[in-house]
Amino acid sequence: MPVITHVGDLQRLARRRVPRMFYDYADSGSWTESTYRANEHDFGKLLLRQRVAVNMEGRSTRTAMVGVDTAMPVAIAPTGLTGMQHADGEILAAQAAEAFGIPFTLSTMSICSIEDVAARTRAPFWFQLYVMKDRDFIERLIDRAKAARCGALMLTLDLQILGQRHKDLKNGLSAPPKPTLRNLLNLATKPRWCLGMLGTPRRSFGNIVGHAKGVGDLSSLSAWTAEQFDPALSWRDVEWIKRRWGGKLIIKGIMDVEDARLAADSGADALIVSNHGGRQLDGAPSSIAALPAIADAVGSRIEVWMDGGIRSGQDVLKAWALGARGTLIGRAFLYGLGAMGREGVTRTLQILHKELDLTMAFCGHTRLQDVDAGILLPGWRERLDGLAR
């Protein structure tokens, strides 16, 4: 087993262990992938001020996200097909997050169902909702999340239509994998993954198959999903969902100040500055470039979080410095999951926490709440403003 010291080590190990179509699904963006790359690279435009001869004892990275105490300002993002990175992937990731003391978010498009995760965790997890045309199904899905005592509903607004992801199209992505010669040859090189999948009954979309009308198996799922994402989704639907849910509501997919104001007006508890990991509109700015203007505009009215490109604890600290009171990680935890299962997710969180803690200390702070944009070298705003235009 190689020595794991940073998230990139887990990424390389996941690439070797996860079938190509599922690794590519996690590690790719839409069209030219320019926004996908910018999400990660733009953090490097922000340089840190190192301080010395300050007391670094008694440090704490603890905070709260929508009232939930967290070990650090990080939650696990909702990611589709997580259970195809590793057998029972959503369950394992939720358990790792619970043990570490951060929130876990389950995707509508998960392999393990809401009920699967609820039966194998104790702490309330969050549920992410895609709005489908079949409103009866959405109502039942919300009710299932209530019954599973989910602590918050995360409503994703930026998937009314699907961005074109070239790698998925070329790989013929499906769950389970299509038995093409290319895919079968690739699966033959992943014995660990195959054995794990043979040992679990969870190889479908647990929240949908058997619950949506006319979807009894995977063969009928493809046609259903192709026509169910709702291009007519509006802020009136957000009001309806908020009433139906009745609990904490988080809105994901905000990249524009005007939309941020509408999100705050909706009465949601938090919004997430997010471009869907660069998987929707290619050519949009990075999430970190969009964050400051949104935090300045609505940060006093609603909790502002962000996701996209976070690969280190330094990235978490930089996002906090620019106004994000929470961050979400998607690919970083998926690399850990694909590499080493639950242990890999735990290792990801340990790495991020240590990097966050040490960087905060080097910048002269012992409490996260004292960190602001003063930890960054002057000129950060001009650099990010240029990237966001």
**In the structure encoding, which two tokens stand for residue 117, read together?**
């995760």
User: Crossing angle for the helix pair 331-362 and 7-17, nearest 10 degrees?
Assistant: 170
What is the CATH classification number for the domain harbouring 167?
3.20.20.70
Q: What pLDDT shows up at residue 176?
A: 62
Mean per-residue pLDDT, 217-242: 82
Mean per-residue pLDDT, 313-328: 98
Q: Classify residue 1: in a domain, yes or no.
A: no
Q: What pLDDT shows up at residue 215?
A: 80
Q: Which residues are annotated as a binding site?
A: 25, 78-80, 107, 128, 130, 156, 165, 252, 274, 276, 279, 307-311, 330-331
Percentage of the chain modeled with pLDDT above 90:
85
Distance CA 84, CA 103 (A): 21
Q: Classify residue 315: in a domain, yes or no.
A: yes
Q: Give residue 387's pLDDT band: very low, low, confident or very high (50, 70, 90).
A: confident
Please, what is the average pLDDT of the chain? 94
**CA–CA distances in Å: residue 77 to residues 74, 132, 138, 172, 366:** 9, 20, 20, 25, 27
Give me the phi and psi of 351, to 5 degrees please: -65, -50
Distance CA 73, CA 61 (A): 8
Q: What pLDDT shows up at residue 220?
A: 62
Q: pLDDT tens-digit profile of 122-173?
A: 999 999 999 999 999 999 999 999 999 999 999 999 998 888 898 888 888 8
Domain boundaries, position 242: 7-381
Q: CA neighbours within 13 Å on the CB side: how many for 218? A: 13
Q: What pLDDT shows up at residue 219?
A: 58
Q: What pLDDT shows up at residue 200?
A: 97
Q: Classify residue 47: in a domain, yes or no.
A: yes
Q: What pLDDT shows up at residue 389?
A: 66
Q: Give residue 331's pLDDT band: very low, low, confident or very high (50, 70, 90).
A: very high
Number of structural domains found in the chain: 1
Q: Which residues are annotated as a binding site for glyoxylate?
A: 25, 165, 276, 279
Q: Classify residue 388: in a domain, yes or no.
A: no
Q: pLDDT tens-digit profile of 262-316?
A: 999 999 999 999 999 999 999 999 999 999 999 999 999 999 999 999 999 999 9
Q: Which residues are annotated as a binding site for FMN?
A: 78-80, 107, 128, 130, 156, 252, 274, 307-311, 330-331
327-329 vs 74-76, strand pairing mode: parallel
Q: Classify residue 100: in a domain, yes or no.
A: yes
Q: Which of 41, 86, 211, 276 is catalytic?
A: 276
Q: What pLDDT shows up at residue 163?
A: 87
Q: Classify residue 138: in a domain, yes or no.
A: yes
Judged against a pLDDT cut of 60, whether residue 218 lies above it is answered with no
Q: Classify residue 389: in a domain, yes or no.
A: no
249-254 vs 270-273, strand pairing mode: parallel
Q: pLDDT tens-digit profile of 91-121?
A: 999 999 999 999 999 999 999 999 999 999 9
pTM above 0.75, yes or no: yes
Percentage of the chain modeled with pLDDT above 70:
96
Q: Classify residue 387: in a domain, yes or no.
A: no
Q: pLDDT tens-digit profile of 67-90?
A: 999 999 999 999 999 999 999 999
Q: What pLDDT shows up at residue 195?
A: 97
Is residue 276 part of the annotated active site? The answer reads: yes
Q: Give residue 363's pLDDT band: very low, low, confident or very high (50, 70, 90).
A: very high
Distance CA 8, CA 332 (A): 9
Mean per-residue pLDDT, 178-195: 91
